A and B are shown apart, each in its own frame.
Chain A
Amino acid sequence: MVGRDRFDILTFSCLLGCVLILGLLLLGGQESKSSVAAIDKALEQQIAYQARVNFLQNLYRPVEDLRLKGQASAALLKLDELARKYPQEAHGEILRGEILLERDAVKQAIDHFVRAVRLNGDYVDQANPLTRRNEIQHLVDTQLPLFTRRARSNPQSQPLQKTLTGLYYLQSRLAGGCE
C-alpha cells in the first residue's frame, strides 16, 4: 500500500477537472448554447399523439357523418372498407360497437368494444380525446347483470359465456390498475 503519491495527486486533479467540466456543461446546457439542440422526447410524443388523434378523426369522419344522417348500414359498409385498409385500428372497432349498440345488437357491440379496448386502452381513460369511458361504463352497468342472469340460466351456452367474459374484461379495465 502506497501513501498519497504523485499518481494520486494527478488522478485527483483530473477528477476535479472532469467534475468542473461536467458542471459547466450542465450549467451551459440550461442556456441551450449547444449546437445540437436536445430533442424534448416527451413533447415529441405528445405532438405525435395529437397528430394520431387528428388523423383518426379525419379518417373516420365519413363514418360519423353517415351515422349522424341515420344511415347506419352505409356507415357499417364504410367501416368495412376502412377495416380492410387498417385492420388493427381500434377506432373502427369502437365506432362499429357504437353503431351496433344503437341498433340493439348488444352482444356484437360488446365484442367490438372489447376488441377496441384490447387494441388501445385509451378508450377507457378519463382524460383522453378518444375516451369512450362513460359509454363503456354505462354498457357494463346495464348489461352485466342481464348477461350474468342469462349465463346462469344457460350455463352450457358458449356465446353467452364469451360475452360475459368480455363484460368482465371491460369492468376490469374500467376499474383501473397498472398495465
Chain B
Amino acid sequence: MNLFDRQTLIVIVSGLSLGILGVLLVLWGNPQNSGICVSCFLENSAGALGLHDNLRMQYLRPELIGFVLGAVVAASIGREFKSRGGSAPLPRLLAGIFLIVGCAVFIGCPIKMFLRFVAGDLTTLTAISGLVAGVWLGLKGLAAGVHFGGSKRQTGGAGVWVPLGFLLLLAFILWPPAFLLQSTRGSAAQAAPVLIALAVGLLLGGLAQRSRFCVTGSIRDSLLMGYRTPLLWGLLAFLFRGFVTSLLTGQFQPGFYGQPGAHLDLLWSFLGMLLVGLISVLIGGCPFRQLIKSGEGDADAGLVVIGMFLGAGLVQSWQIAGTTAGVGLNGKVAVMAGLIFVLINMLLYRERTD
C-alpha cells in the first residue's frame, strides 16, 4: 500500500484533524474529554429540542449540524450527493436507537472513547476491547450471510430530508425559537463558541465525507486487510495527534480512577461498546459515519440518524445512560435488549443458500 496516494493522504489528514480538533474543542469550552462525541452531542441536542428533561443536558450542538452540512457541501462539490435508500428501514431506525444506548451506557461514542483513551483514561480499555469484539462478531455475521440488503438509488429525492432537517436546526441556532432549551448548568452549559464549533463541524464533516473516515470501519478493514487499509492509518493518525495534543495542552492525565465522565462498571462498558461495534458493522458505519452518510443523501443512514435522535431522548428520559456513579438497572436492561435485537436480526436477515 502506498502511504502517499491521494485517498490515504486524505484519510490521514481527516484523522489528524479529528485528533487535534477533538482535543482543542475542550480548550475552547466543550466538556472535558468530550471535544467530539456524537452520542453526547445528540443527547444534548435532543434535550434542547425537548425530547428529554435532563436540565443539565440541553444544548443544540453546532458541531453536529456542521458534520452533516459539511458532508452535504463536500458531497455536492464531488458530485457524490445521491438519494439512495430502501434497505430495512425499520430495523435501521431501531438500530439507531440501540447505537445510542450502547454509547450512553459507556458514556461516549467510539470517537470519544478514543479521545478519552489518548487523554489517559484507562477505563476505556475494556470499551475498546468491546468495540473490537463487536466489529469482529459483526464481520463473522457478514461472512455468514447476514446483511440488511443493499440500498438502491431513489427517485424523488428521499435523501434531501435529513440534510434539510439539519438546515432547520442551523436556523434554530441562528434565530433561536422560544421552545429551544439551553442548559445554564452542567455539561451542556460547557460549549465552544458557536461559530468555532460550527466551523469545526463543517471542516470535519467535509473531510470525513471525502475520506470515508469511520472508527468502526477502520477496525473492520484492519481485521480484514491488516495494515493495507488506508482507514487504519487514519485511525492511527487520529490517535497519535489526539495523544500529542492532549500532552501539549496538559489534558493527559493517565489513570484508572477519577477520570472525567467515566465509570468503573467495566463489564457494561465492554457490552455497551460490543453492541455499538456489532450494530455499526451491520449498518455500515459508526454514529459519526451515519451522520456523514446522511449528508450524502443516504436515506438509510438518515433513518439511523433519526433513530439516534430518538435514542438520545430515551436514554436520558428512561435513565438508561451511564453516569460517573455507574450503570443503572435500566441501562443494563437496555444493552441486553439491544443485543437481543441484533441477534434476532442476524437470524432474520441471513441469506441462506438452500
A176 at the interface (CB under 8 A from B): yes
**Hey, which chain A residues are within 8 Å of B112, CB to CB?**
178
Pairwise interchain contact B34-A178, C-beta atoms closer than 8 A: yes
Tell me the A101-130 residues at the B interface (CB within 8 Å).
118, 121-122, 125, 127-128
**Hey, which chain B residues are within 8 Å of A142, CB to CB?**
none
B4 at the interface (CB under 8 A from A): no
B40 at the interface (CB under 8 A from A): yes
Which A-chain residue is minimally distant from B253 (CB atoms)?
A175
Most buried by A among B34, B44, B179, B260: B260
**Hey, which chain B residues are within 8 Å of A175, CB to CB?**
32, 253, 258-261
B344 at the interface (CB under 8 A from A): no
Contact of B262 among A41, A127, A177 (CB under 8 A): A177
Pairwise interchain contact A168-B108, C-beta atoms closer than 8 A: no
**Hey, which chain B residues are within 8 Å of A178, CB to CB?**
31, 33-34, 37, 40, 44, 107-108, 112, 187, 261
**Hey, which chain A residues are within 8 Å of B40, CB to CB?**
178
* Bound form: Cα–Cα A136–B55 in Å: 22
**Hey, which chain A residues are within 8 Å of B261, CB to CB?**
172, 175-179
Q: Which residues of A contact B (CB under 8 A)?
A: 38-42, 45-46, 49, 118, 121-122, 125, 127-128, 144, 165, 168-169, 171-173, 175-179
Interface of A is mostly: helix
B24 at the interface (CB under 8 A from A): no
Give the number of residues in B that approach A within 8 Å (Cβ atoms): 40
Contact of B257 among A38, A171, A173 (CB under 8 A): A171
Pairwise interchain contact B324-A49, C-beta atoms closer than 8 A: no
Pairwise interchain contact B55-A41, C-beta atoms closer than 8 A: no
Q: How far is the CB of A64 from chain B (nearest CB, A)?
A: 22
Given contacts A175-B259, A176-B187, whether A42 and B181 have CB atoms under 8 Å apart is: yes
Pairwise interchain contact B259-A172, C-beta atoms closer than 8 A: yes
Pairwise interchain contact A172-B262, C-beta atoms closer than 8 A: yes
Contact of A177 among B181, B189, B260 (CB under 8 A): B260
**Hey, which chain A residues are within 8 Å of B31, CB to CB?**
176-178
Which B-chain residue is minimally distant from A131 (CB atoms)?
B185
* Bound form: Cα–Cα A76–B246 in Å: 45
Contact of A38 among B32, B179, B263, B324 (CB under 8 A): B179
Given contacts A38-B177, A118-B325, whether A176 and B182 have CB atoms under 8 Å apart is: no
Pairwise interchain contact A41-B50, C-beta atoms closer than 8 A: yes
Tell me the B152-192 residues at the A interface (CB within 8 Å).
177-182, 184-187, 189-190
**Hey, which chain A residues are within 8 Å of B108, CB to CB?**
178
Contact of B107 among A45, A122, A173, A177 (CB under 8 A): A177
Q: How far is the CB of A147 from chain B (nearest CB, A)?
A: 12
Q: How far is the CB of B308 from chain A (nearest CB, A)?
A: 16
